[in-house]
């Protein structure tokens, strides 16, 4: 039987053990990570934490809703030592719909996604890009596209100084100034949440921030989250000078070189932005499909208010 637990009733050790021992393991799903990106999250659990499904819940229109948080690319069902069979996901989906009427966005991990193809679920199929790092660096670099190889060569010819730092603030400042045009406005609290997340990751020694400097000024940087099976490219930013100088290309190449030959996956966390997807693919990354679930079973009156709110927001933004 799948049951719903609130955050305060979770057995953190049992829950984290399930995530850690599952073939779906992702750092986003650990309790300490979710406590930062989705305070008050809840859990669907089966048995004695043999299978779990974390739910990032928030209140929308006065009802409990599930909304994929920032800095948390995928969640879904995690199971101890097994890939869920065809009967597991339907049980969790039934429990999810029993307790949650509004799901603007919930993204399942890639292992789950093969079992979420039923048309009645109305799944949205998305693609991440990952690079298997088991090969030697020379083989990985040979898989770069021609343009990426040329840009790497140009970047290496620039007088960049690369520094690892504990301070994420310069990276956030670069992003605010130069990288929000393609995605629209970012809520101010998102930056505070990123600072908090970095602090937690630093305490666990699971984050690396590398920046590129020129003439003493930081022009680009990348933030990686590390786990035992996966290196995640969580956040990056660059000034126009950093982009012209291919600083991010050089930084990512450095990371690939450092982790090459290990049983790890480099996760580019591909967004739904065409030029960024092309950038990630150019490093030889392979597509990894995953599924987003969207569901709205709110009353018609609430749906009408929702549409009116969206219309007002679009009208105000267009002025």
Within a domain: 184: yes
Total number of domains in the chain? 2
Residue span of the structural domain in which 230 resides: 134-263
* pLDDT band at 188; cut points 50, 70, 90: confident
Q: Are 68 and 161 part of one and the same domain?
A: no
What integer best gives the mean pLDDT of the chain? Answer: 91
55 by Cβ neighbours in 10 Å (0-12 / 13-18 / 19+) ranks as: buried
Within a domain: 284: no
Q: How far is CA 87 from CA 112, 115, 201, in A?
A: 12, 9, 35
Q: Are 97 and 187 part of one and the same domain?
A: no
Instruction: Determine the average pLDDT of the residues in 118-144.
Output: 90
pTM strictly above 0.85: yes
Q: Nearest-CA neighbor of 245 among 131, 163, 158, 313?
A: 158
Within a domain: 174: yes
Tokens of 157: 């010819």
**CATH at 159:** 3.40.630.30
Q: Are 115 and 212 part of one and the same domain?
A: no
Q: Are 86 and 21 part of one and the same domain?
A: yes
Q: Nearest-CA neighbor of 291 among 57, 109, 120?
A: 109
Q: Are 233 and 150 part of one and the same domain?
A: yes
Within a domain: 31: yes
* pLDDT band at 66; cut points 50, 70, 90: very high
Q: Are 83 and 147 part of one and the same domain?
A: no
Distance of CA 308 to the CA centre of its chain: 30
Q: Are 42 and 163 part of one and the same domain?
A: no
Q: Please check the confidence at residue 259 and state whether its pLDDT lies above 70.
A: yes
pLDDT of 63 reads 87
Q: Please check the confidence at residue 168 and state whether its pLDDT lies above 70.
A: yes
Q: Are 109 and 146 part of one and the same domain?
A: no
Instruction: Determine the average pLDDT of the residues in 270-286.
Output: 91
* pLDDT band at 119; cut points 50, 70, 90: low
Within a domain: 109: yes
Q: Are 59 and 155 part of one and the same domain?
A: no
Q: Are 205 and 223 part of one and the same domain?
A: yes
Backbone phi, psi, residue 157, to 5°: -85, -15
**CATH at 118:** 3.40.630
Helix (H) or strand (E) holding 60: strand 57-60
pLDDT of 183 reads 47
Q: Please check the confidence at residue 23 and state whether its pLDDT lies above 90.
A: yes
């Amino acid at each position: 039987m799948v049951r719903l637990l609130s955050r305060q009733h979770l057995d953190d050790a049992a829950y984290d053990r399930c995530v850690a021992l599952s073939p779906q393991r992702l750092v986003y799903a650990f309790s300490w990570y979710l406590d930062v990106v989705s305070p008050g999250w809840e859990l669907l659990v089966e048995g004695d934490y043999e299978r779990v499904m974390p739910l990032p819940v928030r209140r929308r229109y006065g009802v409990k809703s599930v909304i994929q948080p920032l800095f948390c690319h995928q969640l879904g069902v995690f199971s101890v030592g097994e890939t869920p069979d065809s009967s597991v996901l339907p049980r969790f989906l039934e429990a999810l719909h029993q307790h949650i009427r509004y799901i603007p966005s919930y993204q399942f991990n890639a292992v789950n996604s093969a079992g979420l193809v039923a048309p009645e679920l109305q799944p949205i199929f998305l693609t991440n890009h990952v690079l298997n790092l088991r090969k030697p660096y020379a083989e990985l670099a040979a898989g770069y596209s021609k343009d990426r190889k040329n840009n790497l060569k140009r970047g290496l010819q620039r007088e960049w100084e690369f520094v690892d730092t504990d301070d994420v603030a310069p990276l956030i400042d670069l992003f605010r100034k130069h990288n929000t045009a393609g995605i629209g406005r970012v809520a101010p609290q998102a930056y505070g949440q990123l600072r908090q997340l970095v602090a937690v990751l630093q305490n666990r020694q699971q984050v690396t921030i590398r920046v590129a400097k020129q003439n003493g000024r930081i022009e680009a940087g990348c933030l990686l989250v590390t786990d035992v099976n996966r290196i995640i490219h969580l956040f990056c930013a660059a000034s126009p000078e950093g982009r012209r100088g291919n600083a991010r290309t050089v930084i990512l190449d450095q990371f690939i070189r450092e982790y090459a030959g290990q049983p790890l996956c480099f996760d580019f966390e591909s967004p739904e932005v065409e030029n960024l997807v092309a950038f990630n693919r150019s490093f030889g990354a392979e597509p990894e499909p995953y599924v987003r679930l969207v569901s709205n079973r709110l009353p018609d009156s609430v749906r009408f208010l929702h549409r009116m709110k969206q219309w007002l927001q679009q009208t105000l933004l267009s002025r």
